[in-house]
Amino acid sequence: MESESCQSREASDYPDADPKEQAVLISVGAAYLATALYTMWRKKPGLLPLWLAAVATWATLPKYLICTRCECYGKPCDFTYGGRYSAKLFKPQPDRTVDVYSLIAEGVPGAVAMMLPFAVARKSQGLLTLFGLLSLLWQVALIKIACIRCVRYSTDPFKRKYCPNYKIAGALGSVLREGI
């Protein structure tokens, strides 16, 4: 059980991503991307430009539509330092808010980037198993490293309103209270 002073110190530090945790999260994401790139290149090279375009869109458009309007803009946030990364690309937009279209702009390219290689690998048991394991690892790492602290400390209403992982982490948090 944490003391109140410990919790308030953590809250005042938020976001303060831990470098070791970020190394784990980024490594899992990089492993998924490397496996996806290999799959597209070897099995469906004609669709590789589409996949690369989806990855590039996912890595930039949400940074403009979401991160520039987030409380963590410019800061070392727990989602792969996205706040710092977005500040290198775009100016802040504190007067604008994140809406459902921002989330769609992130979700569509993100789904293509993740699911297209999965579909291309459907006849390879080995690749499917690897994608399954990496997806599971990514979700667990994401919730443990980023989402739980987001639920605990973030104040942006859009996260509570729209983010599915926020809802999952919130539900898990009430079950696993002692472990987080």
Q: Least distance to ligand SF4 from the beta carbon of 73, Å?
A: 5
Residue pair 166/150 in contact (Cβ under 8 Å)? The answer is yes
Q: Least distance to ligand SF4 from the beta carbon of 115, Å?
A: 21
Among 73, 109, 116, 142, which residue sits at the site for ligand SF4 (rule: CB under 6 A)? Answer: 73
Interface with ligand SF4, residue 158, by CB under 6 A: no
Interface with ligand SF4, residue 79, by CB under 6 A: yes
- The closest of 155, 180, 151 to 166, measured between CA atoms, is 151
Interface with ligand SF4, residue 82, by CB under 6 A: yes
- The closest of 26, 70, 57, 55 to 162, measured between CA atoms, is 70
- State how far the alpha carbon of 18 is from the alpha carbons of 14, 77, 126, in Å: 11, 9, 33
Interface with ligand SF4, residue 83, by CB under 6 A: yes
**Cα–Cα distance measured from residue 27 to residue 69, given in angstroms and rounded to the nearest whole number:** 27
Interface with ligand SF4, residue 14, by CB under 6 A: no
Residues that bind ligand SF4 (CB under 6 A): 66-67, 70, 72-73, 77, 79, 82-83, 86
